[in-house]
Structure 1
Amino acid sequence: MANPDHRGDGAPPRDVHVGPATKKTGWLPWLLLALGVLALLFGLTRCNRNNEAARVAAGSTAAPATVPVTPTTTTTPLPVTSTVGTYLGGTEALPRTFVFEKLNFDTNKSDIRAADRDEVNALAATLKQYPNARIRIVGYADARGTAPANATLGNERAESVKAALVAEGIAATRLETASGGESNPVDTNATQSGRFENRRTELIVLQR
């Protein structure tokens, strides 16, 4: 006879209620959605950065192979024939740049024009009055052609002026040359007259 106090001792219960193993979590889909949005935003950010880097790289230009020599000056350029003698006889600070009033060059040429010979002769006469003076002659070109070619042309023009001064009796040791190439134009390169002005020569007084 079954024990009334311990029914079914040792036997499994006849009715077993099985509940859910875990409680449903309504926040899980939202968490997955939030993670997906974050991943999408991260991807877009990296894409924008890559696009910006590509634009910067595309917009950059390589440095020119040849950089023309641009002399350092301390004052605004002034005409040679009317002021260089006064300057050499004064006490103003060095160096100083002077622009030749009439010493320009024809296109792609470095020989001194007959119309500009008087300018060179006037400078030679001034330098003879100040035998301790040393100068640097800087030749320039207009913007047509390549930068290296214009740097070479500017130097040839400066050397041409130096040779003319030496021919007038100025010691070569007192004269330096440099090229400004197409840098520092004094007029527009869009017109014929402007380009003519840019094919110029400048003088820098280095020593009195």
Structure 2
Amino acid sequence: MVSPNGDYRDGAPSHIHIEKKKGFNWLPWLLLALGILALLLALSRCDRDDAAAVAPVDNTTAAEATPPAEVVATTPNANTATALVGTSGLGGYLAGAEPTPRTFTFEKLNFDTAKSEIRSEDAAEVNEVATTLTQYPTTRIRIAGYADARGADAANAALGKARAESVKAALAAKGVDANRIETVSGGENDPVDTNATDDGRFENRRTELVVTAR
């Protein structure tokens, strides 16, 4: 009740104080979130460091580490045996002025299956080639050995090389300087006959002579 002079009666307050509600404090939660984030970053960095510390495993097998036998001999126009010039024409070629290289096939020099030894019946032609080469001492040659298509590629490459080395040794034994003779393998590449018959395979077990320089 208000008195005539404006005062409140009966002990009523003269004014009312309303307390404002305090706002939510985000600071502790923000600090907690930053701490968790820092922990996650530290853990991820440790994982990367551990992965980098592990040495890479070399899964290369011994077979993969060893390069395959290289086949380096190529016979031009070797679709048939008659497409090649026989060694009987070697002397005439060396006396002329035709350019090098030039490939000659041995007319009677073949090998038994899986063998690299020169057969006695074929030695005469090797001797004739040796005689021709001694008449032209500056001539350099390459002997390429071949195999038929039976057997693994690597074995045939090695067999071709062994046959070329046999011819080189026979020429050297007849007085031809071994330093003038290079040997390579043609493996089973460039067959001059079919590999489906015994006679054809016999023709493919051969060597060829390439004049590389006069």
Q: Distance in 1 between matches of 2:183 and 2:76?
A: 15
**C-alpha root-mean-square deviation of aligned residues, in Å?**
1.7
Match of 1:68 among 66, 71, 84: 71
The yes-or-no answer on 1:94 pairing with 2:81 is no
| CA deviation after TM superposition for structure 1 residue 93, in Å | 1.2
- Where does residue 133 of structure 1 map in the other structure? 139
Counterparts of residues 124-203 of structure 1 (less than 5 Å)? 124-203=130-209
- Do the aligned partners of 2:101 and 2:211 also contact (CA within 8 Å) in 1? yes
* Cα distance change, pair 94–74 in 1 and its aligned pair in 2 (3 A): farther
Please list the CA deviations of residues 148-204 of structure 1 after superposition, one character each: whole Å capped at 9, or x if unmatched: 100000000000000000000110111000000000000000000000000011000
- For 1:162 and 1:70, the matched residues in 2 are separated by 16
Work out the number of aligned pairs and report it: 144
Q: Tell me whether 1:77 sits opposite 2:64 in the alignment.
A: no
Question: % of aligned pairs identical?
Answer: 62
Q: What's the TM-score once normalised by structure 2's chain length? A: 0.64
SS in 1 for 2:211: strand
1:18-44, Cα deviation, whole Å (9 max, x unpaired): xxxxxxxxxxxxxxxxxxxxxxxxxxx
Q: Is the 8 A contact 1:68 1:147 kept in 2?
A: no
Give the TM-score normalised by the residue count of structure 1: 0.66
Q: Write out per-residue CA displacement over residues 90-125 of structure 1, whole angstroms, 9 at most, x where no aligned residue.
A: 111110000000010000000000000001000000
- List structure 1 runs of 4+ shifted beyond 3 angstroms: 64-67, 71-76
Paired amino acid for 1:78: V
SS in structure 1 at match of 2:100: coil
CA shift digits 1:15-70 (9 cap, x unpaired): xxxxxxxxxxxxxxxxxxxxxxxxxxxxxxxxxxxxxxxxxxxxxxxxx9444222
Contact conserved, 1:67 with 1:147, CA < 8 A, in 2? no
> Is this contact kept in 2: 1:68–1:148, CA < 8 A?
no
Q: Distance in 2 between matches of 1:159 and 1:99?
A: 16
Residues 74 and 87 of structure 1, relative CA distance in 2, 3 Å threshold: farther
Q: Which has the greater radius of gyration?
A: 2
